[in-house]
Chains A and B, each alone.
Chain A
């Protein structure tokens, strides 16, 4: 069980991680703030008011050294939820490991890295898609060679669903992304069984109980079939669809918040019956704020009650063979294939993103759902039915304004004290590597990170070479 954490300065997060380790956790999970997620330093004008707000700020290797100070990287596994700058953060993690004399092959963890779903749903990108995909390709090749225990990508449907997709869209778009990464690896000269066992997935689990279970079952069927028949995978692990699930944030209401405990329980049960390998349960107060410790505890206990009191986790696919569920699985599978075929006919995921097709499909579905909600055709108890008179809660979360000042001061000191000639040289090498697609950019990225080039400086090299991304019109 991993608790998602990360806030404020790297020191704050280091303290929190050490506390969690003292409590017996060995899996760390880091959340980053918006400037880090978009690849800007803490002193960038766009970072104004955002530093340390919804995660920890990382502007350079110095910050990563502070976050993991006193934490032996060969004893823990670390999950980092970051996409556009995933390769840079991975290099920072490698550099911290190196300073602790931990061998690269002993580093364990996961970076999300899934940029395709960023263009489709979460919309946190830095460059146009083909540039990010090229860097991901480099990361795949590098990891296959040097980091056997590193999950360099987690292919995510969660955000696609939260952005307004239905179950079939979530499934189809996520699997289509997965196949695109498989083709990326094959295109880079890797054998499919060399990297496919390291691919894993991250799905949403929301309120339509049987539909969600059927979705997970259909996901496994489609993945295994296509991996075998189209990509000729032989290793059984390449056919496995391993996934993490999280209960749906969008299904929660700010009204009558205790009801959210019930919703989360039902969703968690569906995820377990659907065969999830790991699970995150949301807290009941997350419809309006980051969760309190008390609410997090209830969410964790929800999982423990399901795991340790009900026995449902003792059986594999317990609903297999049920007439209703088998039919529903067939139907979802068929509808997902139709979407995947449609995406293929548009020229693949990348072309479908460039055309705005996937984004518009989600937006149209979100609009239809909203209309159903307002007409009462779709019921949310407490929100559009069984309403009681209550005031919306007042959000109390305040950013400590000192975080930005402290991070900026630290960054300025770093820029004075580091070897700036070396920084410039590594950035120049990185620039020519970015310009030459035959070069693996992870090596120069790692050198730039080690020289204490900042996250923003490194990402700016890419912005200069690759340009920025403008979304197609989504109306």
Chain B
């Protein structure tokens, strides 16, 4: 039992977080998404980027196909309340509800509460430090995906 736990831990320290950076919807503002993709990569994650203009269906399918731990969604056009929950719903329907979802954009407080109910956390606004976002993701993946403390 002790041996098994330590082997899980060794695997976890070696294991890299696989993350999909996603920009669902009619929104070409990719400056933040591309900065984050680079920051995630430099933090040791395996990064996949959806490119622009995928539908929520495309994003969910890519997350499943790429077998990621987490999807980081960025939207600055104000359509986060339709696009983000839609990705969550499709993932659940396809039996991939265990893929973690985090969000970012210009998101009012009241929207944040509703998004969190759908399992979309973070919901970081402009000016958030990269470290804050990375820490949030690492913490969630370790706890919810890898079941580590």
Contacts and interface: CB of A to CB of B under 8 A. Distances in A.
Contacts of A254: 126-127
A470 B82 CA distance: 24
Given A34-B77, A118-B28, A253-B127, 16 more contacts: A34-B26, A46-B25, A54-B77, A162-B31, A255-B127, A287-B126, A363-B34, A364-B38, A367-B35, A374-B130, A374-B131, A395-B108, A399-B78, A470-B51, A471-B51, A475-B49
A363 B79 contact: no
Contacts of B77: 34, 50, 53-54
B133 to A, nearest CB: 11
Given A48-B82, A374-B130, A395-B108, A475 B28 contact: no
B141 interface: no
B109 interface: yes
A367 B32 CA distance: 9
Nearest to B51: A471
A122 B28 contact: yes
A363 B35 contact: yes
Contact of B79 (A40, A49, A164): A49
A394 interface: yes
16 contacts: A34-B77, A46-B55, A48-B82, A49-B79, A53-B77, A123-B30, A124-B28, A163-B30, A163-B31, A366-B35, A374-B129, A383-B127, A395-B106, A397-B78, A474-B51, A475-B38
Contacts of B79: 48-50
Contacts of A364: 38
A366 B41 contact: no
Interface in B49-63: 49, 51-52, 55
A392 interface: yes
A35 interface: yes
Given A38-B26, A475-B41, A49 B82 contact: yes
A466 to B, nearest CB: 16
Contacts, number: 83
A210 interface: no
Nearest to B34: A363
Interface of B: 25-31, 34-35, 37-39, 41, 47, 49, 51-52, 55, 77-79, 81-82, 106, 108-109, 125-127, 129-131
Interface residues of A, number: 40
Interface in A37-94: 38, 40, 46-50, 53-54
Interface in A386-400: 392, 394-395, 397, 399
A288 B127 CA distance: 11
A475 B78 CA distance: 25
B41 A53 contact: no
A366 B35 CA distance: 7
Contacts of A225: none
Q: Is the interface of A mostly helix, strand, loop or mixed?
A: loop
A-B pairs with lowest CB-CB distance, top 6: A123-B28, A363-B34, A367-B38, A34-B26, A49-B82, A49-B79
A459 to B, nearest CB: 13
A471 B79 CA distance: 22
A201 B84 CA distance: 37
Nearest to B125: A392
Nearest to B131: A374
A473 interface: yes
Contacts of B78: 49, 53, 397, 399
A402 interface: no
A392 B127 CA distance: 10
Nearest to B40: A475
Contact of B35 (A50, A255, A370, A471): A370
B106 A288 contact: yes
Nearest to A391: B109
A364 B41 CA distance: 13
A254 B41 CA distance: 28
B8 to A, nearest CB: 30
B109 A370 contact: no
A366 B106 contact: no
B31 A164 contact: yes
Nearest to A48: B82
A115 B105 CA distance: 26
Interface string A157-170: 00000111000000
B55 to A, nearest CB: 7
Contacts of B31: 162-164, 363, 366
B62 to A, nearest CB: 13
A46 B26 contact: yes
A123 B23 CA distance: 12
A474 B28 CA distance: 14
Nearest to B82: A49
B42 to A, nearest CB: 9
Contacts of A124: 28
Nearest to B83: A49
- Most A CB contacts (10 A, CB to CB) among B37, B127, B130 go to B127
Contacts of B129: 374
B91 to A, nearest CB: 19
Contact of A474 (B49, B82, B131): B49
B51 to A, nearest CB: 5
A400 to B, nearest CB: 13
Contacts of A255: 127
Contact of B109 (A122, A123, A162, A394): A394
A25 B108 CA distance: 36
Given A46-B55, A394-B109, A363 B26 contact: no
A367 B125 contact: no
Given A288-B106, A392-B125, A471 B52 contact: yes
A374 B51 CA distance: 26
A48 B78 CA distance: 11
